[in-house]
Amino acid sequence: MGKDISQAVIRRMPRYYRYLGDLLEQGVERISSNELSAKMKVTASQIRQDLNNFGGFGQQGYGYNVQFLYSEIGKILGLEQQHNVIVIGAGNLGQALANYPKFKKLGFVIIGLFDINPKLKGETQSGVPVMMLEGLEDFAARHEIDIAALTMPKNNADKIANRLVNLGIHAIWNFAHVDLDLVDKDVVVENVHLSDSLMQLSYNMNMHQNAGEIKDFNGKRVERL
Protein backbone atom coordinates (compact mmCIF):
# COMPACT_ATOMS: atom_id res chain seq x y z
CA MET A 1 0.00 0.00 0.00
CA GLY A 2 1.14 3.50 -0.71
CA LYS A 3 4.36 2.53 -2.41
CA ASP A 4 3.98 4.85 -5.36
CA ILE A 5 2.58 7.85 -3.58
CA SER A 6 4.33 11.17 -4.01
CA GLN A 7 5.60 13.19 -1.08
CA ALA A 8 3.27 15.99 -2.17
CA VAL A 9 0.29 13.76 -1.37
CA ILE A 10 1.88 12.62 1.88
CA ARG A 11 2.42 16.23 2.91
CA ARG A 12 -1.32 16.82 2.65
CA MET A 13 -2.37 13.78 4.71
CA PRO A 14 -1.54 15.27 8.15
CA ARG A 15 -3.65 18.26 7.18
CA TYR A 16 -6.64 16.02 6.36
CA TYR A 17 -6.09 14.28 9.67
CA ARG A 18 -6.10 17.60 11.51
CA TYR A 19 -9.32 18.82 9.86
CA LEU A 20 -11.07 15.51 10.42
CA GLY A 21 -10.02 15.59 14.08
CA ASP A 22 -11.56 19.05 14.40
CA LEU A 23 -14.78 17.81 12.76
CA LEU A 24 -14.92 14.87 15.17
CA GLU A 25 -14.55 17.24 18.11
CA GLN A 26 -17.47 19.23 16.71
CA GLY A 27 -19.56 16.04 16.54
CA VAL A 28 -19.71 15.90 12.74
CA GLU A 29 -20.34 12.31 11.63
CA ARG A 30 -20.17 12.59 7.88
CA ILE A 31 -19.03 15.09 5.32
CA SER A 32 -19.15 15.38 1.54
CA SER A 33 -15.97 16.00 -0.39
CA ASN A 34 -17.47 19.35 -1.41
CA GLU A 35 -17.96 20.43 2.20
CA LEU A 36 -14.49 19.20 3.13
CA SER A 37 -13.17 21.04 0.09
CA ALA A 38 -14.75 24.34 1.17
CA LYS A 39 -13.34 23.94 4.68
CA MET A 40 -9.83 23.02 3.60
CA LYS A 41 -9.68 25.31 0.57
CA VAL A 42 -8.51 22.59 -1.77
CA THR A 43 -10.64 21.33 -4.64
CA ALA A 44 -12.99 18.39 -4.07
CA SER A 45 -11.28 16.63 -6.95
CA GLN A 46 -7.91 17.02 -5.23
CA ILE A 47 -9.34 15.45 -2.08
CA ARG A 48 -10.80 12.54 -4.01
CA GLN A 49 -7.56 12.04 -5.93
CA ASP A 50 -5.46 12.15 -2.78
CA LEU A 51 -7.64 9.66 -0.93
CA ASN A 52 -7.96 7.38 -3.95
CA ASN A 53 -4.23 6.75 -3.58
CA PHE A 54 -5.13 4.78 -0.49
CA GLY A 55 -8.29 3.15 -1.74
CA GLY A 56 -10.84 5.94 -1.59
CA PHE A 57 -12.94 5.68 1.62
CA GLY A 58 -15.82 7.71 0.18
CA GLN A 59 -19.21 6.49 -0.88
CA GLN A 60 -21.16 8.00 -3.77
CA GLY A 61 -24.06 10.03 -2.40
CA TYR A 62 -22.96 9.66 1.20
CA GLY A 63 -19.57 11.33 1.34
CA TYR A 64 -17.06 10.41 3.99
CA ASN A 65 -17.67 8.89 7.40
CA VAL A 66 -15.55 11.24 9.51
CA GLN A 67 -14.59 8.76 12.24
CA PHE A 68 -13.70 6.06 9.75
CA LEU A 69 -11.69 8.37 7.51
CA TYR A 70 -9.92 9.88 10.53
CA SER A 71 -8.82 6.51 11.81
CA GLU A 72 -7.86 5.22 8.36
CA ILE A 73 -5.67 8.25 7.73
CA GLY A 74 -4.24 7.77 11.21
CA LYS A 75 -3.28 4.23 10.20
CA ILE A 76 -1.76 5.44 6.93
CA LEU A 77 0.33 7.90 8.92
CA GLY A 78 1.44 5.15 11.28
CA LEU A 79 -0.28 6.75 14.27
CA GLU A 80 -1.87 3.56 15.58
CA GLN A 81 1.41 2.74 17.27
CA GLN A 82 3.38 4.70 19.85
CA HIS A 83 6.67 6.24 18.77
CA ASN A 84 9.34 6.87 21.36
CA VAL A 85 11.31 10.02 20.67
CA ILE A 86 14.54 11.37 22.09
CA VAL A 87 15.66 14.94 21.60
CA ILE A 88 19.34 15.82 21.19
CA GLY A 89 19.83 19.36 22.41
CA ALA A 90 17.96 20.57 25.48
CA GLY A 91 18.07 24.25 24.59
CA ASN A 92 14.99 26.38 23.90
CA LEU A 93 13.92 24.37 20.89
CA GLY A 94 14.44 20.98 22.54
CA GLN A 95 12.50 22.23 25.55
CA ALA A 96 9.73 23.51 23.29
CA LEU A 97 9.39 20.05 21.75
CA ALA A 98 9.31 18.37 25.16
CA ASN A 99 6.66 20.76 26.43
CA TYR A 100 4.35 20.56 23.41
CA PRO A 101 1.37 18.44 24.54
CA LYS A 102 0.10 17.73 21.02
CA PHE A 103 2.90 15.28 20.20
CA LYS A 104 1.96 12.86 22.96
CA LYS A 105 -1.68 12.95 21.83
CA LEU A 106 -0.48 11.80 18.42
CA GLY A 107 1.50 8.98 20.00
CA PHE A 108 4.92 10.63 19.80
CA VAL A 109 6.24 10.28 23.34
CA ILE A 110 9.42 12.13 24.20
CA ILE A 111 11.29 9.88 26.62
CA GLY A 112 14.54 11.75 27.01
CA LEU A 113 16.41 14.99 26.30
CA PHE A 114 20.17 14.93 25.84
CA ASP A 115 22.66 17.76 26.07
CA ILE A 116 26.33 18.36 26.72
CA ASN A 117 25.79 21.28 29.09
CA PRO A 118 26.34 19.93 32.64
CA LYS A 119 24.19 22.74 34.06
CA LEU A 120 21.11 21.11 32.53
CA LYS A 121 21.81 17.68 34.06
CA GLY A 122 18.97 16.48 36.29
CA GLU A 123 16.48 19.03 34.99
CA THR A 124 13.15 17.90 33.61
CA GLN A 125 10.81 19.37 30.99
CA SER A 126 7.20 18.27 31.37
CA GLY A 127 8.53 15.28 33.28
CA VAL A 128 11.11 14.37 30.64
CA PRO A 129 14.60 14.10 32.13
CA VAL A 130 17.59 15.94 30.67
CA MET A 131 20.54 13.58 30.46
CA MET A 132 24.14 13.99 29.40
CA LEU A 133 24.99 12.97 25.86
CA GLU A 134 27.72 10.64 27.10
CA GLY A 135 24.94 8.44 28.52
CA LEU A 136 23.22 8.03 25.15
CA GLU A 137 24.48 4.51 24.40
CA ASP A 138 23.51 3.33 27.87
CA PHE A 139 20.03 4.84 27.55
CA ALA A 140 19.56 3.33 24.08
CA ALA A 141 20.43 -0.11 25.43
CA ARG A 142 17.64 0.16 27.99
CA HIS A 143 14.91 1.87 25.90
CA GLU A 144 13.32 1.44 22.55
CA ILE A 145 13.90 4.61 20.54
CA ASP A 146 12.03 5.13 17.29
CA ILE A 147 12.87 8.73 16.42
CA ALA A 148 15.64 11.14 17.34
CA ALA A 149 15.06 14.88 16.99
CA LEU A 150 18.23 16.92 16.43
CA THR A 151 18.03 20.46 17.78
CA MET A 152 21.70 21.17 18.38
CA PRO A 153 24.01 23.33 16.21
CA LYS A 154 24.82 22.12 12.74
CA ASN A 155 28.54 21.58 13.22
CA ASN A 156 27.97 18.46 15.34
CA ALA A 157 24.87 17.24 13.54
CA ASP A 158 26.49 14.71 11.19
CA LYS A 159 28.59 13.15 13.92
CA ILE A 160 25.70 12.77 16.33
CA ALA A 161 23.30 11.63 13.62
CA ASN A 162 25.67 8.85 12.65
CA ARG A 163 26.10 7.90 16.31
CA LEU A 164 22.31 7.57 16.52
CA VAL A 165 22.16 5.55 13.32
CA ASN A 166 24.81 3.19 14.69
CA LEU A 167 22.57 2.71 17.72
CA GLY A 168 19.86 1.46 15.37
CA ILE A 169 17.76 4.61 15.24
CA HIS A 170 16.48 4.89 11.70
CA ALA A 171 14.32 7.99 11.80
CA ILE A 172 15.70 11.47 12.33
CA TRP A 173 13.73 14.68 12.74
CA ASN A 174 16.40 17.18 11.83
CA PHE A 175 16.22 20.82 12.94
CA ALA A 176 19.96 21.42 12.48
CA HIS A 177 20.54 23.75 9.56
CA VAL A 178 22.35 21.22 7.40
CA ASP A 179 21.47 18.27 5.19
CA LEU A 180 22.75 15.25 7.06
CA ASP A 181 25.44 13.08 5.55
CA LEU A 182 24.72 9.64 6.96
CA VAL A 183 26.87 6.50 6.97
CA ASP A 184 23.80 4.33 6.60
CA LYS A 185 21.63 5.66 3.80
CA ASP A 186 18.75 3.49 4.93
CA VAL A 187 17.48 6.13 7.33
CA VAL A 188 14.38 8.29 7.11
CA VAL A 189 15.07 11.98 7.61
CA GLU A 190 12.53 14.76 7.91
CA ASN A 191 14.05 18.22 7.88
CA VAL A 192 12.66 21.32 9.54
CA HIS A 193 14.93 24.07 8.25
CA LEU A 194 13.58 27.20 9.90
CA SER A 195 15.87 29.59 8.02
CA ASP A 196 14.77 28.09 4.71
CA SER A 197 11.15 28.60 5.70
CA LEU A 198 11.83 32.23 6.61
CA MET A 199 13.60 32.81 3.28
CA GLN A 200 10.64 31.32 1.45
CA LEU A 201 8.37 33.72 3.31
CA SER A 202 10.66 36.58 2.33
CA TYR A 203 10.60 35.50 -1.32
CA ASN A 204 6.81 35.32 -1.32
CA MET A 205 6.58 38.74 0.34
CA ASN A 206 8.60 40.27 -2.47
CA MET A 207 6.77 38.47 -5.25
CA HIS A 208 3.47 39.26 -3.65
CA GLN A 209 4.25 42.96 -3.44
CA ASN A 210 5.37 42.88 -7.07
CA ALA A 211 2.64 40.80 -8.57
CA GLY A 212 -0.24 41.14 -6.14
CA GLU A 213 -1.06 37.51 -6.52
CA ILE A 214 -2.36 34.98 -4.05
CA LYS A 215 -1.34 31.40 -3.68
CA ASP A 216 -3.45 28.66 -2.16
CA PHE A 217 -2.27 25.97 0.25
CA ASN A 218 -0.64 24.03 -2.57
CA GLY A 219 1.19 26.99 -3.98
CA LYS A 220 -1.11 27.32 -6.95
CA ARG A 221 -2.05 30.78 -8.01
CA VAL A 222 -5.70 31.54 -7.29
CA GLU A 223 -7.94 34.42 -8.25
CA ARG A 224 -8.18 37.29 -5.84
CA LEU A 225 -11.34 36.89 -3.76
> Where in 202-221 is the site for a second copy (CB under 8 A)?
202-208, 210-215, 217-219
Q: Strand pairing partners for 108? A: 83
**From the CB of 121, what's the least distance to a second copy, in Å?**
19
Q: Which residues contact 81 (CB under 8 A, 6 or more apart)?
A: 107
List the one residue from 35, 123, 146, 158 that touches a second copy (CB under 8 A). 146
Smallest gap, in angstroms, from Cβ of residue 90 to a second copy? Answer: 11
Stretch that binds a second copy, among 5-13, 23-31, 43-51, 133-141 (CB under 8 A): 5-13
Nearer to a second copy, 10 or 116 (CB): 10
**Beta pairing partners, 215:** 221
Q: Is 15 in the site for a second copy (CB under 8 A)?
A: yes
68 vs 100, which CB is nearer to a second copy? 100
Quick check: helix, strand or coil at residue 210? helix
In the sheet that holds 147-150, the strands lie side by side as 124-125, 128-132, 108-115, 83-88, 147-150, 171-174, 188-191
Establish if 188 lies at the interface with a second copy (CB under 8 A). yes
Q: By CB under 8 A, which span of 2-10, 128-136, 137-145, 155-163 interacts with a second copy? A: 2-10
In angstroms, rounded to a whole number, what is the distance separating the alpha carbons of residues 104 and 122?
22
Q: Least distance in Å: CB of 58 to a second copy?
A: 21
Residues 72-101, interacting with a second copy (CB under 8 A)? 76-79, 83, 91-93, 95-97, 99-100
117 touches a second copy (CB under 8 A): no
Other CB atoms within 10 Å distance of the CB of residue 193: 15
**How far, in Å, CA of 97 to CA of 102, rounded?**
10
Residue 8 host element (H or E): helix 7-25
Query: 86: buried, middle or exposed (CB in 10 Å: 19+, 13-18, 0-12)?
Result: buried
Using the rule CB under 8 A, is 192 a contact of a second copy? yes
| Contact call for residue 193 and a second copy (CB under 8 A) | yes
